[in-house]
Amino acid sequence: MHKNITERYKNTHDSKKHTLQKNTKIINISKKKPQTFIMRTDVVTVTPWLSPVVWEGTFNAELLDSIYLQKNISIAATVFAVGKYTMFLKDFLLTAQQHFFVGFHVHMYVFTDRPSEVPTVPLRANWKLFVRMVPNSRRWQIISARRMEIIQTLIEDELMNQTDYIFCLDVDSRFHGRWGSESLGALVAVIHPGQEFTYDRSRFPYERHASSSAFIASGQGDFYYCGGAFGGNVQEVLQLTTTCRRNYEADAAKGIEAAWQEESHLNRYMWINKPTKVLSPEYLWQDFKAWEPEIRLVRFSGVVKNYAAIRPNLAPPTQPTTK
Ligand SMILES: CC(=O)N[C@H]1[C@@H](OP(=O)(O)OP(=O)(O)OC[C@H]2O[C@@H](n3ccc(=O)[nH]c3=O)[C@H](O)[C@@H]2O)O[C@H](CO)[C@H](O)[C@@H]1O
Ligand SMILES: [Mn+2]
């Protein structure tokens, strides 16, 4: 791996001025793209547990691709389109072709109760699309939360030892910019766009009832992460989905549903098991929000939708958040 990278960049080095020690694995690319290494100072770029927080301007996409392409990795993605949400599939899939892991092996899993409504879109050469049946439900909360169980089963039955990474994405969204190898990590969370990333954590809409297994006490927690995009390697995402599913079901058996369903359980999980990579809200913005000054590029964004028209039961979110 290092040999090829070194070769790729060796022409950019002035070997007389920058002599690398024999066999060194440190590659001096700062001469080629110095701007890559001027860290952003307007945003958090590393967590207190030393995981990177990925923003435009903090990474070299070409270098990262050259590292990961050599590994011949495969990436699975899941997207659920149950009931009327099939209307979002076309734009989701078309824009994913343009921006999501371009050049990599991508296996896209579409879960739906209406397979006849899955649009036919031209696929890139190294893409595969799989359509899987799932039941509908009378409550959108259950459709959303059951994703954890279905992803757990998918990994157990099909992806383990076959696929390297998986990302689990909301369908009511479109890609607008690169989402690629910079996002890869063992356990990957995305900072929720609706929660101003500068907020005090006491204002985050974590589940605040101690009776729920998604409970996070006031003063605790790191970031508020979104349920609409998360991922990692298949082993880690199996742990995550298994735990969130178990906790969601344990709550349900007690008649409890956390404030934001599986998103609340995901936040609890990510607080206990720190993500090894955190993606900025560039990786899930919302179309109705103006870009904040910190947002230099929106990569993936939720479309504006009429909740009452497309959800099987009611209703816009009732919580006092910007979700
Ligand atoms: C941006 C973001 O992080 N959004 C999260 C947020 O609300 P959202 O308002 O984004 O939730 P949503 O309506 O998009 O539902 C989540 C997802 O469930 C699927 N779906 C839902 C309803 C339905 O009738 N059919 C269907 O297929 C679909 O893939 C959708 O994208 O909170 C939800 C749980 O409270 C989820 O955690 C969402 O991911
Ligand atoms: Mn959504």
- Given the residues 56, 149, 263, 282, select the one marked as catalytic: 263
User: Does residue 300 have its Cβ closer than 6 Å to ligand 1?
Assistant: no
pLDDT interval class at 253 (50, 70, 90): very high
Q: List strand residue ranges (DSSP E) for 27-182, in order.
A: 53-54, 74-81, 105-112, 127-133, 165-169, 173-175
pLDDT at 306: 87
Question: Taking Cα atoms as reference points, which of 196, 181, 193, 195 lies closest to residue 231?
Answer: 181
Rounded to the nearest angstrom, the distance between the alpha carbon of 38 and the centre of ligand 2 is 34
User: Does residue 127 have its Cβ closer than 6 Å to ligand 1?
Assistant: no
Residues 158 and 137: beta-carbon distance below 8 Å? no
pLDDT at 129: 98
pLDDT at 314: 58
Whether the pLDDT of residue 295 is over 70: the answer is yes
Residues 214 and 168: beta-carbon distance below 8 Å? no
Q: Whose CA is nearest to atom 39 of ligand 1?
A: 228
Rounded to the nearest angstrom, the distance between the alpha carbon of 302 and the centre of ligand 1 is 10
What is the residue extent of each domain of the chain?
Answer: 1-32, 39-310
Q: Report, as an integer, the average pLDDT of 246-252.
A: 96
pLDDT at 20: 36
Task: Say whether 263 is catalytic.
Answer: yes
pLDDT at 220: 94
Report the chain's mean pLDDT, rounded to a whole number: 87
User: Does residue 85 have its Cβ closer than 6 Å to ligand 1?
Assistant: yes
Task: Among the bound ligands, name the one nearest to the CA of residue 227.
Answer: 1
Whether the pLDDT of residue 3 is over 90: the answer is no
pLDDT at 113: 97
d(CA 165, CA 160): 10
- What are the residues whose beta carbons fall under 8 Å from the beta carbon of 79, sequence distance 6 or more? 89, 92, 108, 109, 110, 111, 169, 170, 171
User: Does residue 144 have its Cβ closer than 6 Å to ligand 1?
Assistant: yes
Q: Which residues pair with 112 in a beta bridge?
A: 81, 133
User: Does residue 312 have its Cβ closer than 6 Å to ligand 1?
Assistant: yes
Q: Which residues pair with 302 in a beta bridge?
A: 173, 286
Q: Report, as an integer, the average pLDDT of 99-112.
A: 98
d(CA 202, CA 123): 44
Q: Report, as an integer, the average pLDDT of 109-113.
A: 98
Whether the pLDDT of residue 320 is over 70: the answer is no
Q: CB 199: neighbour CB atoms within 10 A?
A: 11
d(CA 261, CA 146): 10
Higher pLDDT, 109 or 10: 109
pLDDT at 313: 85
Q: Report, as an integer, the average pLDDT of 178-195.
A: 95
CATH class of 39-310: alpha beta
pLDDT by residue (tens digit) across 7-44?
A: 433 333 333 333 333 443 344 444 455 455 667 999 99
Q: What residue type is assigned to position 229 of the chain?
A: A
Q: What whole-number percentage of the chain has pLDDT above 90? A: 76
Q: pTM, whole model, 2 decimals?
A: 0.88
Q: Which residues pair with 315 in a beta bridge?
A: none
pLDDT by residue (tens digit) across 188-220?
A: 999 999 866 556 788 899 999 999 999 999 999
Q: Report, as an integer, the average pLDDT of 168-187.
A: 98
Q: Whose CA is nearest to atom 4 of ligand 1?
A: 228
pLDDT at 38: 61
Higher pLDDT, 283 or 199: 283
- What are the residues whose beta carbons fall under 8 Å from the beta carbon of 211, sequence distance 6 or more? 254, 256
d(CA 156, CA 196): 36
- Buried b or exposed e, range 248-273, using 16+ CB within 10 angstroms: beebeeeeebbbbbbbbbbbbbbbee
Binding-site residue set for Mn(2+): 170, 172
